[in-house]
């Protein structure tokens, strides 16, 4: 097997559960992630498994437990329903295979605890949980700010978590279990503290919520050191997706999720930072450019500015230098463009 | 050769010129881009070529023209100095190999025109120019807005392009040739029009500029249909990197580069849009998560939240559901954490 | 007595209590407010009363109750300590004199209730309470938005109220009584509902707070219809003054206190409105201009641009019209400026 | 004549010209400005003069020159058409009466120069020109920033000046004479320099502009020291009123007109300042509160929160203190409200 980046072979990954999240992970492994290879998909829905496997040109394995055991599979992404996680993760641990498990790890503290014990008995960490906010640039920055103690001890975290609407069968407990779970983890990640108490309040529910769904809710968490965390969870706003976190610390505040990077307030005023250079500002554009070029070239074409664009730029810039030197308006004539 | 995403083999790419930009492209091809394989690097500086080749575990080819001809090389990224581009690109065209050529295409309109003719004679597009701003989400959005004619015809584009400082030997012409060239291309991309005239004005130069460098400058472009474009180019601000573009059209304006996505002004007011869902907001976090997990697993570990984090979240959420049901403050005790 | 604006005489006002707030009200009545006349100040501190009276050229009345009774006083601004309010307001009611009473109306619900009964017995409203936020443009706008029901029923109000530091002797109860009292009133103003329950939580106190002061606190209010209101009250931030309110309603949200006017979020996106004309944008500049001109003229001078400025503008604009007509750069020479 | 603020009598002012601007100045003098008295209005349109005089309860003087000469008039606000300014201002100078003259001072450099000479001959400044932007808080702040040299020498001023639409008979020269004249003055005010050259460019005109009107235009000014100023003037945007100015200096930039106060960019990042205290944040609310209270009291009522509001706040706050002390939810019952 060849790999573009090192002598080590690519990681052969199977995705278990190919509903919305699982399909998205399959696509990511097949077309975005370097140094990994999507080799199989598995779902209890055999027809769906076959369809997704065909889409990505990989094996369909109808029994997820068989996928865990498969010798051609190095590692697993688990995106099946939460109630199946315990069995699958324990099997992976038994097989010594690494797992990236979508949240929740399991659906009860007891079952999660059993996994903790099993992994501890194994003596090495094989299981990662899919709390992806820890990889979001703003949260990483906010955590660094807290760790630096530059603003002193944290006092509050004010959180907002909003969705436009909910799928059918979403119930009141799921606002906590499926949505606030992200804030639960991110609070632990940001503060490095365990959460020791919780309250849940609620205003009247919105008329946009399905009958019987308590939405929105207001969840108040307390951490070990006494940081107070409030979370507005509102999942039928009709509007869009909004996640914001405001840190209030002893000597300043910081807000993320405003869409302008992290904004701090200190005695020096409010504000943010300016990118240092073009790499920081346009890194993503460079990545997209090269990936799209690679894909176009493999299809025998280009996907971006061509030589005419390069020529036109050269002509305008040459005229620009003349304009600079003369102080005059300089006209540009490109001539006929080849067919 | 295996590939994670399809039956077709990965594209074998050589990077020519491994100065700052070339090394960055080599890293990108080796570790970020899917469906491509970095197979060689080449630079007239033999020692640098060897060092970079060793870093990425690929072949060193000391003569760039040899790299163009190499049968194991499917496509080329050219990041050598501009004056070498004409010869290399023409050789690539002769060899029928696709090229991604860093800007400028060449250093004169005449030589660029020769490449245009050579490619036209070949009858297919093999050369893409590295104007990467066309792949920046905000510019793509702005172009879509112009194309939609929602705000009517464009009247002005006000552009700002600022750098903290310049490398040694940066001269006054280079503010146009190396910097404003990006606005030249992006104006053509945004408007779909050629530029027909140019003026360059300048205030007194900043005292932060090296002796003799005319910095800042003010470049005024006119397009075919009469759109007026002004560009503040200022490359010794001492501050950071800032690129902004404001479209002024008949029925509204739109600004990019404010750090808040595209902001429009119409009779309805000013504002921007809200992400539709978590995929849009956290897509990058998902990608980073999975890439780092793959890399960690290949090194025998994890790089993210583990089972204790999953357990803690489960415990807090279970308590949250009890709090929700009782209206009371519910305490959480996690028990001892396994070593 | 003459008045600039109508046949009716100016309102003769006495300010009772000339500490910080009272002096500010005296200055306002003397130099900003039209159709009123500051005629007297009164404070139990006789020396302070005399000093402030001298500053404004008005009468000093050492006994506030005498000021209430004074036949030359038409109306009263009460800015004495809260514990004196009941006696003074009841005396004003007995005298049939209008009062603008700084908050709190009194220091207990019982005493406030006695004033309510006394005024009701009188059959007309003579007492206004100094909840000045009701006159802030953003709150007025927010109230209008709620009243319009454009965003549906309110669900949450998230409030932040921060001060840089507290005066000596500020105690934990005063965070509620002196600070949150503003949110208490503004919630009633915004929603048109009474508040029916309250909780107070608190994180660990900031180390910047004086020993024994519980700061910050987190106050949760519930209104009649079930709107949930949370208030972060934090009075030793070391930073500055910050008051923000976010309305979360069934079909959208609106934020004030961001410094950009009211920002709404709906399915159409986020944003604000654009001033309709120059009067809206520069109304305050016009007012300041004319007031400073009046004051300068009374002192025999001007305080703003003079005829040289008018001449220079005329010369530049005339050149501008020539430039417009010729398309050329036109130079301007003003000639010597008269001494 | 009495005055609320000092022994000196109020300034008796006549407004000449009572079109839109003149009526606004009359209203301002009658109802906003302290220490002045509107005593007369004058316009060549006798019917309009009579109507406006009646509205404000002041004298109508049909001949503006008679108003200049009137012994009961201390000072003049001139808001007549520009072509009448020279005669009226010269007459005021001859009569030794102070004038606040709406811009332009006169309609030609020659006539403005004659006024400069006449005032110089008089030996004292009697004429102020109505460039009201000099009294706008943001411009004052920006001027202070430039004067402080904190960001080094200015290099550029980028200005935007937009109106929704123009009145009938607005011609291409008026974009410069009536609109850009404000930037002309403010550039002189901000920089303390004269303007030495001007260029005017233009894109295609907007289709929203009346036939024959060159709109928008792009005006480029140069100051004595070589600061380059560009002004987008666009008077048929269909949207609203927008005035922005961006200073680009050697070590940083500052933007006004974004609606968030002045935003600076330096090596420390971007941002603005936080109000120091509630007076700064709510000064205008205090002024509005007291003015509306005065006006209401003169009409026998109040116009703001009454005693019931004060009572309700007292009751909630008292409950809040109990909640603070007990940690519990405390309910509030206000009892019946008196009719």
Residues C239, C314: one domain?
no
Determine, yes or no, domain membership for A5.
no
Contacts with B251 from chain D: Cβ below 8 Å: 208, 237-239
Domain count, chain D: 3
Residues of A in contact with D270 (CB under 8 A): 271-274
Of C263, C270, C274, the CB nearest to B265: C274
Using a 10 angstrom Cβ sphere, with 0-12 exposed, 13-18 middle and 19 or more buried, the burial of residue A47 is exposed
The CA distance from B112 to B103, in Å, is 11
Burial of A150 (0-12, 13-18, 19+ CB in 10 A): middle
Domain match, D179 and D231 both: yes
Distance CA A130, CA A136 (A): 12
CB contact under 8 A, D30 and C4: yes
With respect to residue B85, please indicate whether it lies within any of the assigned structural domains.
yes
**What digits encode the pLDDT tens for the residues B106-129?**
988 899 989 999 999 998 889 989
Residue A57: per-residue pLDDT: 96
pLDDT at B41: 97
Do residue A289 and residue B197 have CB atoms under 8 angstroms apart? no
Would you give the DSSP letter of residue C215? -
Residues C132, C136, C141: CA angle, nearest 5 degrees? 135
Q: Which residues of C touch D298 (CB under 8 A)?
A: 8, 11, 35
Confirm if A205 and C225 have CB atoms less than 8 A apart. no
Q: Is the pLDDT of residue A101 over 60?
A: yes
Please check whether residues C228 and C246 belong to one and the same domain: yes
Sign of the alpha-carbon dihedral angle for C38, C40, C43, C49: positive
Residues 6 or more apart whose CB falls under 8 angstroms from that of D211 comprise none
Summarised one tens digit per residue, pLDDT across range C132-191 is 888 888 888 899 999 999 889 999 999 999 988 898 889 998 999 889 999 999 999 999
Residues of C in contact with A252 (CB under 8 A): 237, 239
Query: Using the 8-state DSSP alphabet, how is residue A97 labeled?
Result: -
Question: Mean per-residue pLDDT for C88-94?
Answer: 96
Per-residue pLDDT tens digits for A265-274: 677 676 676 6
- Whether D162 and D263 share a structural domain: yes
Q: Is the Cα dihedral B23, B27, B28, B29 positive or negative? A: positive
Residue located via tokens 């949760």: C220
Same-domain check for residues B109 and B182: no
Closest by Cβ to A274, choosing from D270, D273, D274: D270
D242 and D323 in a single domain? The answer is no
Please say which residue of B253, B271, B289 terminates a domain: B271
- Lowest-confidence segment of A135-149, B98-112, C102-116, C283-297 by average pLDDT: C283-297
Residues D258 and D145 in one domain: yes
The C-alpha angle A327, D187, C311, rounded to 5 degrees, equals 100
Q: Name the residue of chain D whose CA is nearest to B216's CA.
A: D155
Query: What pLDDT digit, counting tens, does each position of A43-76 carry?
Result: 999 999 999 999 999 999 999 999 999 999 999 9
Q: How confident is the model at residue C2 (pLDDT cuts 50, 70, 90)?
A: very low
Q: Is the dihedral of CA A320, A325, A331, A336 positive or negative?
A: negative
Q: Could you tell me the two tokens for A295?
A: 């894909």
User: CA C301 to CA C106: how far, in whole Å?
Assistant: 47
Question: Torsion-angle region of residue D212: left (phi > 0), alpha (psi -120 to 50) or beta?
Answer: left
Hey, are the CB atoms on A269 and D272 less than 8 Å from each other? yes
Give yes or no: residues D245 and D173 share one domain.
yes
Instruction: Work out the average pLDDT over D188-204.
Output: 91
- Tell me if C126 is assigned to some domain: yes
* Smallest Cα distance from D76 to chain C, Å: 10
Q: Where are the alpha helices (DSSP H) in B123-211?
A: 137-148, 172-174, 181-191
> Quick check: is B6 in a domain?
no
CA D261 to chain centre: 16
Same-domain status, D230 and D329? no
Average pLDDT of the residues in A146-154: 91
> Of D164, D198, D298, which has the smallest distance from its Cβ to C320's Cβ?
D198
User: Are A268 and D272 within 8 A, CB to CB?
Assistant: no
Contact B232, D158 (CB under 8 A): yes
The answer to whether A13 touches B295, Cβ cutoff 8 Å, is no
Contacts of D201 in chain B (CB under 8 A): 220, 228
Write out residues in chain B with pLDDT < 70, as ranges. Answer: 1-8, 258-263, 265, 268, 270-271, 273-281
| DSSP code at position C153 | S
Q: Is the same domain home to C193 and C263?
A: yes
Of B193-202, C63-72, D100-109, where does the model show the most confidence? C63-72
Mark yes or no for CB contact D203/B155 under 8 Å: yes
In a domain, A261, yes or no: yes
Give a yes or no: residue D126 inside a domain: yes
Where residue D264 sits, what CATH number does that domain have?
3.30.360.10
Rounded Cα–Cα distance for residues B156 and C318 (Å): 25
ipTM value, please give it.
0.81
Residues C250-267: b if buried by 16+ CB within 10 A, e if exposed: bbbbbbbbebbbbbbbbe
DSSP string, C225-264: T--EEEEEEES--SS--EEEEEEEETTEEEEESSSSS-EE
* D143 within some domain: yes
Residues of D with Cβ-Cβ distance to A269 under 8 angstroms: 271-274
**Residue C329: per-residue pLDDT:** 82
Secondary structure class of B212 (helix, strand, coil): coil
Task: Judge whether D93 and D105 are in contact, CB under 8 Å.
Answer: no
| Segment C240-282, tens digit of pLDDT | 888 889 999 998 888 887 655 566 767 767 677 666 666 666 7
Closest CA to C330 of C312, C314, C318: C318
- Structural contact between residues D128 and C303, judged by C-beta atoms closer than 8 angstroms: yes
Residues of B in contact with A173 (CB under 8 A): 321, 324
Distance from CA of D285 to the nearest CA of A (A): 23
What is the pLDDT, as a whole number, of residue B2?
32
- Compute how many other C-beta atoms are within 10 angstroms of the C-beta atom of residue D95: 16
Q: Of B105, B130, B155, which closes a domain?
A: B130
Cα dihedral: C116, C121, C123, C127 (round 10) = -30
CA distance A175 to A158: 17
Nearest alpha carbon to residue D172 among B197, C321, B267, A254: C321
Cβ pair A239, C152 in contact under 8 A = no
Same domain, C141 and C86: no
Whole-angstrom Cα distance, residue B120 to residue A306?
11
N-terminal to C-terminal alpha carbon distance within chain D? 43
In terms of domains, do B142 and B87 share one? no
- Cα distances from C242 to residues A160, C79, C133, C159, in angstroms, run 19, 24, 13, 10
Residue A62 maps to which CATH number? Answer: 3.40.50.720
pLDDT at C71: 97
Among residues A262, D158, A272, D139, which one has the least CA distance to residue B246? D158
Closest residue on chain B to D218 (Cα) = B228
Is position B2 within any domain?
no
């971007």: which residue's tokens?
D270
**Residues of chain A contacting residue B163, judged by C-beta atoms under 8 Å apart:** 277-278
What does the pLDDT look like over A264-309, one tens digit per residue? 767 767 667 666 666 666 777 778 788 888 888 878 787 878 788 8
> Are B272 and C271 inside 8 Å of each other by CB?
yes
Structure pTM?
0.84
Q: Pick from A37, A77, A108: which is nearest to B4 by CB?
A: A37
To test the contact with chain B by mutation, choose from A243, A320, A323, A333 the residue with the greatest count of B C-beta atoms within 10 A, namely A320
- Domain residues for the domain of D41 are 11-130
From A103, A130, A157, the end of a domain falls on A130
CA-based nearest residue in chain A for residue B288: A135
Question: H-type helices in chain D, by residue range?
Answer: 20-31, 46-56, 64-69, 85-95, 109-122, 137-148, 172-174, 181-191, 278-298, 307-326
| pLDDT tens digits along A14-44 | 999 999 999 999 998 998 888 889 999 999 9
* Most B-contacting residue of C200, C251, C253, C269 (CB-CB within 10 A), to test interface: C269
CA pair distance D112, D99, nearest whole angstrom: 14
């Amino acid at each position: 097997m060849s790999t573009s980046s090192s002598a080590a072979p690519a990681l052969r990954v199977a995705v278990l559960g190919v509903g919305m999240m699982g399909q998205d992970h399959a696509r990511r492994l097949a077309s975005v992630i370097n140094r990994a290879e999507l080799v199989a998909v598995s779902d209890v829905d055999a027809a769906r498994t076959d369809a997704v496997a065909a889409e990505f040109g990989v094996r369909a394995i109808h029994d997820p437990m068989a996928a865990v055991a498969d010798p051609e599979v190095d590692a697993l992404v688990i995106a099946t329903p939460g109630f199946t996680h315990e069995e699958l993760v324990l099997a992976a641990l038994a097989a010594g295979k690494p797992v990236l498990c979508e949240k929740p790890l399991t659906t009860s503290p007891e079952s999660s605890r059993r996994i903790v014990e099993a992994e501890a008995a194994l003596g090495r960490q094989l299981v990662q949980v899919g709390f992806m906010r820890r990889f979001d640039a703003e949260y990483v920055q906010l955590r660094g700010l807290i760790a630096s103690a530059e603003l002193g001890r944290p006092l509050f975290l004010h959180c907002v978590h909003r969705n436009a609407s909910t799928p059918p069968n979403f119930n009141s407990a799921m606002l906590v279990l499926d949505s606030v779970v992200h804030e639960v983890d991110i609070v632990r990640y940001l503060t490095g503290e365990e959460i020791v108490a919780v309250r849940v309040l609620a205003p009247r529910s919105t008329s946009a919520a399905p009958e019987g769904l308590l939405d929105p809710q207001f969840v108040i968490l307390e951490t070990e050191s006494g940081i107070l965390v409030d979370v507005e969870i509102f999942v039928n706003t009709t509007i869009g997706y909004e996640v914001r976190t405001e840190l209030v610390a002893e000597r300043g505040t910081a807000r993320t999720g405003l869409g302008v990077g992290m904004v701090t307030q200190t005695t020096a005023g409010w504000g943010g930072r300016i990118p240092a250079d073009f790499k920081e500002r346009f890194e993503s554009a460079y990545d997209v450019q090269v990936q799209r070029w690679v894909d176009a070239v493999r299809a025998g074409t280009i996907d971006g500015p061509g030589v005419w664009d390069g020529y036109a730029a050269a002509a305008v810039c040459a005229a620009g230098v003349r304009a600079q030197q003369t102080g005059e308006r300089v006209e540009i004539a490109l001539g006929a463009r080849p067919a």
